[in-house]
């Protein structure tokens, strides 16, 4: 029987700043931080592009810190600074700003979700779970919070709760590859292989080039003692660029 490696990498959520958050005096417009996209540019051109984005991010952080000097009680400014720090992988600084955002306005579910995501990066699932449960107290249908909870519970080995929140996240965000992958992984970890195969086939029907879905389907079929069919889907995943290695 073929052996496979499972993709257990957590996803990240890039939640925008709320246009108007309860408890703030006025809206603050978030200067969008564009993600770096892969392109066919030369290495030199890409380096220049990255340097330019880094300079823009540093300028944005400076701007936010200056604004906070005059508006220290602004939840939105603290929230945006937390996001900016997270883009620079300054995890502790980002956590500090998100906590301050929550102190200024405890009704920002986005802040709790991003805080929980940062705790996942620090491999502190209990803190992630606590933050995202608070987000659900404010907004029970916040899909990103359910998704973070699925991953946090999976890290703790509570697969029943991981599946529960994974299913709810996928219900709320059916087009989200991240929500799908977390649910498929939760099914696989809990040995619900038929459910993992079913949801993977659904994702493949929606997107025939979704390499992760082929890989998860291969995992499920392999566990169901269907090695030939599993190998077929594994080859497809590799053809589409999914990097997998035999254990």
Supply the pLDDT for residue 54.
86
Comparing 42-51, 132-141, 231-240, which segment has the lowest mean pLDDT?
A: 42-51
CA distance 36 to 75: 27
Helix/strand/coil for 22:
coil
Task: Please indicate, yes or no, if residue 6 is contained in any of the structural domains.
Answer: no
pLDDT digits (tens, 9 = 90+) for 196-227: 999 999 999 999 999 999 999 999 999 999 99
Domain shared by 142 and 184, yes or no: yes
Supply the pLDDT for residue 245.
57
pLDDT digits (tens, 9 = 90+) for 154-168: 999 999 999 999 999
Give the contacts of 73 (CB within 8 A, at least 6 positions apart).
Answer: 104
Query: How many separate domains does the chain show?
Result: 3
Task: Please indicate, yes or no, if residue 31 is contained in any of the structural domains.
Answer: no
Q: Is 36 exposed, middle or buried (0-12, 13-18, 19+ CB in 10 A)?
A: exposed
Last residue of a domain, one of 65, 82, 106: 106
Supply the pLDDT for residue 74.
95
State phi, psi for 220 to the nearest 5 degrees.
Answer: -65, -45
Give the contacts of 199 (CB within 8 A, at least 6 positions apart).
Answer: 170, 180, 183, 184, 187
Q: What's the whole-number average pLDDT of the chain?
A: 83
Domain shared by 183 and 132, yes or no: yes
CA distance 205 to 110: 32
What string of DSSP letters covers 171-228?
A: HH-TT-HHHHHHHHHHHHHTT-HHHHHHHHHHHHHH-TT-HHHHHHHHHHHHHTT-HH
Task: Please indicate, yes or no, if residue 36 is contained in any of the structural domains.
Answer: no
Domain shared by 128 and 182, yes or no: yes
The enclosing domain of 90 has a CATH number of 1.25.40.10
Supply the pLDDT for residue 23.
33
Task: Please indicate, yes or no, if residue 21 is contained in any of the structural domains.
Answer: no
Supply the pLDDT for residue 215.
95
Compute the average pLDDT of residues 106-131: 95
Domain shared by 82 and 111, yes or no: no
Task: Please indicate, yes or no, if residue 62 is contained in any of the structural domains.
Answer: yes
In which domain, by residue range, is 55 found? Answer: 50-106
Task: Please indicate, yes or no, if residue 32 is contained in any of the structural domains.
Answer: no
What string of DSSP letters covers 103-138?
A: HH-TT-HHHHHHHHHHHHHTT-HHHHHHHHHHHHHH
Domain shared by 83 and 115, yes or no: no
Supply the pLDDT for residue 243.
81
Domain shared by 93 and 116, yes or no: no
Last residue of a domain, one of 143, 173, 190: 190
Supply the pLDDT for residue 244.
62
Last residue of a domain, one of 161, 190, 219: 190
Q: Higher confidence at residue 91 or residue 15?
A: 91
Supply the pLDDT for residue 4.
45
Domain shared by 95 and 58, yes or no: yes
Supply the pLDDT for residue 2.
43
Residue with tokens 């006025």: 26
Task: Please indicate, yes or no, if residue 168 is contained in any of the structural domains.
Answer: yes
Rounded percentage of the chain residues whose pLDDT exceeds 90: 74
Domain shared by 141 and 157, yes or no: yes
pLDDT digits (tens, 9 = 90+) for 9-58: 444 444 544 433 333 222 222 323 322 233 344 555 656 666 788 889 99
């Amino acid at each position: 029987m073929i052996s496979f490696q499972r993709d257990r990498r957590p996803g990240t959520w890039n939640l925008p700043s709320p246009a108007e958050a309860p408890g703030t005096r006025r809206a603050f417009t978030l200067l969008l931080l564009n993600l770096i996209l892969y392109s066919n540019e030369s290495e030199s051109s890409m380096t220049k592009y990255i340097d330019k984005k880094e300079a823009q991010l540093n300028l944005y952080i400076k701007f936010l810190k200056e604004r906070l000097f005059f508006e220290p009680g602004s939840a939105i400014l603290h929230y945006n600074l937390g996001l900016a720090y997270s883009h620079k992988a300054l995890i502790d600084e980002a956590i500090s700003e998100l906590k301050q955002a929550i102190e200024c306005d405890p009704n920002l579910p986005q802040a709790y979700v991003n805080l929980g995501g940062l705790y996942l990066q620090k491999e502190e699932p209990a803190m992630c779970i606590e933050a995202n449960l608070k987000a659900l107290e404010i907004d029970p249908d916040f899909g990103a919070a359910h998704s973070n909870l699925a991953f946090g519970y999976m890290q703790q080995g509570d697969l029943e709760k991981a599946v529960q929140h994974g299913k709810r996240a996928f219900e709320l965000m059916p087009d989200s590859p991240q929500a799908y992958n977390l649910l498929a992984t939760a099914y696989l970890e809990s040995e619900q292989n038929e459910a993992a195969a079913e949801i993977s086939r659904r994702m493949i029907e929606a997107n025939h080039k979704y390499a992760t879905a082929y890989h998860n389907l291969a995992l499920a079929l392999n566990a169901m003692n269907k090695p030939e069919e599993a190998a077929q889907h594994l080859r497809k995943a590799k053809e589409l660029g999914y990097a997998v290695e035999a254990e």
